Amino acid sequence: MAEQLRHAREAKGLALAEVVETTQLKTDQVQALESGRYEEFAATAYVRGFVRSYANMLKLDTEALLDQLNVEMGQAREGQPDGSNAALRAGILDAIMLSFSRVNWRLVLPVFAFVALAAGIFYGVKWKREFDSTDHLKNIGPGLYAPDATSDADLLPLDSGS
């Protein structure tokens, strides 16, 4: 399968750099696919996705290449149950990670930053208005300076008749 990819690329007269630019794969990933070094990838989902992208770019039969990849990697077809929930969970996680790897983060991150900034300004203004409209001293007590408590015992007796 790896040789098919390389021969198809060479037959179309495409340089490795053109493949990298078109598929958005990295050079070492394309080289690993063309030489059959699948162990260099973190998960089989990545290998399958990259092979799919590469085969689509070269206009090859994608399903036939993926079947051949499964045979080379010693895996059964996706639709066949193997009775393992761990494999299913790993497959879902790999699929999610693969979808995140396709996101153009140079566009998405500024949008997220703008939304976060707008939300921060909105809630900051809302908090400031609420803060300014309340009386912060209404529940404050006398503090250290309590009013003088005067009682009859504290008064001096006055002579009224001498």
Per-residue DSSP letter, 33: H
Q: How open is the CA angle 82-42-45, to the nearest 5 degrees?
A: 45
Say if residue 49 is in the same domain as residue 126: no
pLDDT of 46:
85
Which residues, including other chains, have CB under 8 Å from residue 61's CB and lie 6 or more apart?
Answer: 55
Task: Kindly report the number of other CB atoms within 10 A of residue 162's CB atom.
Answer: 3
Q: Do residues 1 and 69 touch, judged by C-beta distance below 8 A?
A: yes
- State mean pLDDT over 155-160: 72
Across residues 131-149, what is the average pLDDT? 77
Write the pLDDT tens digit of every residue in 79-133: 444 444 555 556 788 788 888 888 888 899 999 999 999 999 999 999 999 999 9
Instruction: Note whether 40 and 32 are within 8 A (CB).
Output: yes
CA 19 – CA 70 distance, rounded (Å) = 23
Tell me: do 93 and 109 sit in the same domain. no
pLDDT > 80? residue 145: no
Residues 96 and 108 in one domain: no
pTM of the model as a whole: 0.46
Work out how many domains the chain is built from and give that number.
2
Q: Domain of 131?
A: 104-135
CA within 13 Å, CB half, 140:
8
**pLDDT tens digits for 97-112?**
888 888 888 899 999 9
* Residue 113 sits in the same domain as residue 40: no
- Greater model confidence, 80 or 58: 58
Higher pLDDT pick, 127 / 37? 127
